[in-house]
Amino acid sequence: MMQGPQPATAPGVPFDSPQHVPGPYQGAGNYGFQAQPMGFPGGPAFPPVQNQPVMQGGTIWMPIPPSIPNCPPGLEYLTQIDQILIHQQIELLEILTGFETQNKYELKNALGQRVYFAAEDTDCLTRNCCGPSRPFTIRIIDNMGREVITLQRPLRCSSCCCPCCLQEVEVQAPPGTRVGYVVQNWHACLPKFTIQDEKGMDILKITGPCVVCSCCEDVNFEVKSLDETCTVGRISKHWTGFVKEAFTDADNFGITFPMDLDVKMKAVMIGACFLIDFMFFEHGADKNQRSGVW
């Protein structure tokens, strides 16, 4: 009796084991297909193929780009895009109980292919006592399950208008290697930020509207040159409709930047987007307050 074709795997070894990752990914260990903590999705259902989209659980991942010299591992994806869409996942428990849960996000390209997955790493007490002002670590993984970007926000008093309490996010890529900072600038009426490199040198400026209110329209934060004479990109909070805006804090953002912008600065712009989300669009415990300081 003839049998159908059998998977080309060694006896007793699962097909999606890291042992079966072809080419340069062989022996990837923790960077391959092991389960991820904090609700991260696992690796692809099949060994990834370079330059080919990967389907997993109904989600199409962006094709794995070729390695690029002097590019932080995992940031090769950013060399191929000039736009990122960030969708925060809706947490049913948070809607029903008001209990603040860890934020999770999908980062997609303009074709709707997932580029990264991000999740907040904070403890329960911090989330529910500090609300949107809480310090956080956000871990961003690629479609190989590797943590490629880490965002760290220290605790700062959001109700204080003093320059010593301005907000900041440190961006690492890969984790442990600083590539830049997002630093809030004091201004009497405008939300303003500076994007800095790993040495603390100013690279770009971000300026938001005088009244940060998401009501029936998008809210745009312009990314400008250092002298603020030229607009080079934008971080936009997209209006998602009355029901979603009223009953959830799951926000949608879009980031645009020049295709040839340094990938490290693109990663820092992603960090700026998350800081803006927490400062101005993350609901507080009473679901009626929005946090922000300028």
For the record, the structure tokens of 187 come out as 């201004």
- pLDDT for res 122: 85
Looking at this protein, which amino acid is placed at residue 171? V
pLDDT top residue among 80 and 43: 80
Could you tell me the pLDDT band of residue 29, with boundaries at 50, 70 and 90? Answer: very low
Rounded Cα gap, residues 51 and 44, in angstroms? 14
For the record, the structure tokens of 280 come out as 């101005």
- pLDDT for res 256: 97
For the record, the structure tokens of 31 come out as 């960077």
- pLDDT for res 133: 80
Rounded Cα gap, residues 9 and 76, in angstroms? 30
**Plot region of 281 (φ>0 → left; ψ -120 to 50 → alpha; else → beta):** alpha
How large is the average pLDDT for residues 36-48? 45
**Quick check: 72 pLDDT over 80?**
yes
Rounded Cα gap, residues 155 and 166, in angstroms? 10
**Quick check: 236 pLDDT over 90?**
yes
pLDDT top residue among 215 and 252: 252
pLDDT tens for each residue of 280-291: 887 644 444 333
CATH topology of domain 29-281: Tubby Protein; Chain A (3.20.90)
Phi, psi of 137 (to 5 degrees): -120, 125
Contact 174, 167 (CB under 8 A): no
Mean pLDDT of the chain: 76
Query: Domain coordinates of the chain in residue numbers?
Result: 29-281
Provide the percentage of residues in the chain whose pLDDT is more than 70: 65
**Quick check: 199 pLDDT over 50?**
yes
**Quick check: 265 pLDDT over 70?**
yes
For the record, the structure tokens of 235 come out as 């971080």
Rounded Cα gap, residues 113 and 19, in angstroms? 26
Residue in 215, 273, 277 with CA at minimum distance from that of residue 240: 215
**Statement: the pTM of the whole predicted model exceeds 0.85:** no
Q: Which residues contact 104 (CB under 8 A, 6 or more apart)?
A: 39, 88, 89, 91, 117, 118, 119, 120
Which of 45-54, 62-71, 127-136, 209-218 shows the lowest mean pLDDT across its residues?
Answer: 45-54
